[in-house]
Structure 1
Amino acid sequence: MPFANYKFPEGILDHARKEEIIHRTTEMFVEYFGEEVRPYTMVLIEDVADGGWGRADETLTLEKMGLPAKPI
């Protein structure tokens, strides 16, 4: 079963954008593995609380990354 897991800062993606990511990811798996994988493809989008993740020993926030707090 193809599986993709995306993690984004909470609140940065609206419902329509999440649907687009799910659709495009599913289409990518179908392109690589064939139509028979469509019913078994799983895409998980997780919203991570602002400041709840980091890189290179630094906690990241939307402000630090210069990203808007509103959904895109």
Structure 2
Amino acid sequence: MPFANFKFPEGVVDAASKEEIIHRTTAMFVEFFGEQARPYSMVLVEEVADGGWGRADETLTLARMGLTKPE
């Protein structure tokens, strides 16, 4: 089963963007594996709490990345 897991800072990806990520990722799986992969494709879009992840030994926050949480 093709599987993709996307993680984004909480609040920076709206519902429409999540839906587009799911559709486009599924389309990529189908392009690569064929139409038979569509019903078995799984795409997980997760939101991570601000400061709940890091890279290169640095805790990332929206402020450090120069992002703001949409109102």
Question: TM (normalized to structure 2)?
Answer: 0.96
Aligned length: 71
Report whether the alignment pairs 1:32 with 2:32. yes
- How big is the alpha-carbon RMSD for the aligned residues of Structure 1 and Structure 2? 1.0
Quote the residue 1:60 is aligned against.
60
Structure 2 unmatched ranges of 5 or more: none
Q: Segments of 4+ in structure 1 off by > 6 A?
A: none
Quote the residue 2:51 is aligned against.
51
SS of the aligned residue for 2:16 comes to helix
Deviation, structure 1 residue 67 = 1.2
Percentage identity across paired residues of the two chains: 75
Deviation, structure 1 residue 18 = 0.1
Question: TM (normalized to structure 1)?
Answer: 0.95
User: Once the two structures are superposed, what CA deviation does each residue of 1:6-61 show, in whole Å capped at 9, x if it has no partner?
Assistant: 00000110000000000000000000000010000000011000000011111100
Structure 1 unmatched ranges of 5 or more: none
Quote the residue 1:16 is aligned against.
16
Residue 36 of structure 2 aligns with an amino acid whose one-letter code is E
Higher helix share: 1
